[in-house]
Amino acid sequence: MPLFGVFVLALLLVACGRVPAREAVPSAQEAWVARVNDEGITREEWEHALALDRAMSALAGQPVPEAEAVLQRLVNERLVLQQARSRPLPALTEAEARLRALLTRWNVSEAQLEATLSAHGLRREEVLAAVQRLLLVEQTLQQLGDAQAAERWLLEQRRQARISLFVSFSTPQPRPSQARAPLSATPLVLAAPSPTPVQTPLVLALQSATPLPTTPTPAPVNPAPDFTLRDVDGREVSLSDFRGQVVVLNFWASWCPSCRAEAQDFGAFARAYRARNVVVVGVNLREDTETVRAFAAANGMDYPLLLDVDGSVAQRYGVVGIPTTVFIDPIGEMRARHVGILNAQQLADYVQPLLEGTSVRPRGSSG
């Protein structure tokens, strides 16, 4: 039976943001949770994928996938399918055959399948439709050659894509002697994201033993990777230049709706906390100087703005969707990561423990 050898969709942890009531953000009627280039992923799609992956997890005897991992899978799937627009979906009979093979592998009967799907509000037809899409993804990636070629291609697609997200995930980084702090979450985020990507059974009980790279497990101490970029005035600026200060490192772009929505809050926060040994550093992804300068002036972003013209720094920080914000303490250790939109109060909630030298326990991370 062919396997989903190169299609392991639990890759890098992503960035998401809650939908605020500001211009250029999808309306409540649209209910997007993400946008991948020019296509949206709706809240309904995400909820359906969560139910499907949880049902398949139960059948496969695997841990329940986390909400963020499922959203990552949908983003990855959408990126590949955007490259396969002209290709037809595999036949339903092929999806049936793959599903039966999975049930055999899991030692699950048709009756057990139907009962589990019913318990999750799903129908067999919906599972087959998902398998058809995944088969098309598999075929598309296999055309690229071996697993390494597909890996490079998918990572490059994620680096270049315009991925903005409208739900929130918060990940404090535990210090060596501390347990992970509790996470806040939106109602849909039923499980807090872990530092290690989760592989969902439907996707990939269909997989070989050669997964794509994942975000490495943090070391006992989490030093923020140093980097040097040019600012909007052409000067070279390094992250290490800010050692001794609390650094709020924000990855953004002007085309990202959630980034536009949080821009004024970041400017206000930077001004309010400047005298308290806190610096906001904005890292813009792949936009030109004049675009960044004009957007910053219009939104009061009077703090260091650096140009990540090829996305390499964002890649080092595991940024997939934006906005993503990393909180770094005065000795250069990453203490928290927030994927999605932030307001001034949330920024203060993240930063205050770093000023006090305590563990980060963000309050209301969804806004």
Q: Dihedral sign, CA of 128, 45, 192, 122?
A: negative
Distance, CA of 134 to CA of 59 (rounded, Å): 18
Could you please report the per-residue DSSP string of 195-216? SS----HHHHTTB-S-PPP-PP
CB environment 312-351: b (16+ within 10 A), e (fewer): ebbbebbbbbbbbbbbbbbebebbbbbbbbbbbebbbbbb
344 close to 269: Cβ distance less than 8 angstroms: yes
Q: Give kind and range of the element (H or E) at residue 268.
A: helix 257-273
Backbone angles phi, psi at 194, to 5 degrees: -100, 165
Active-site annotation, residues: 259
Distance, CA of 19 to CA of 133 (rounded, Å): 28
What is the maximum alpha-carbon separation in the chain? 66
Q: Cβ neighbours of residue 32 under 8 Å, at least 6 residues apart?
A: 19, 26, 40, 41, 42, 43, 166
Distance, CA of 322 to CA of 325 (rounded, Å): 9
Closest CA to 270 of 243, 299, 232: 299
The residue whose two tokens read 């940024």 is 319
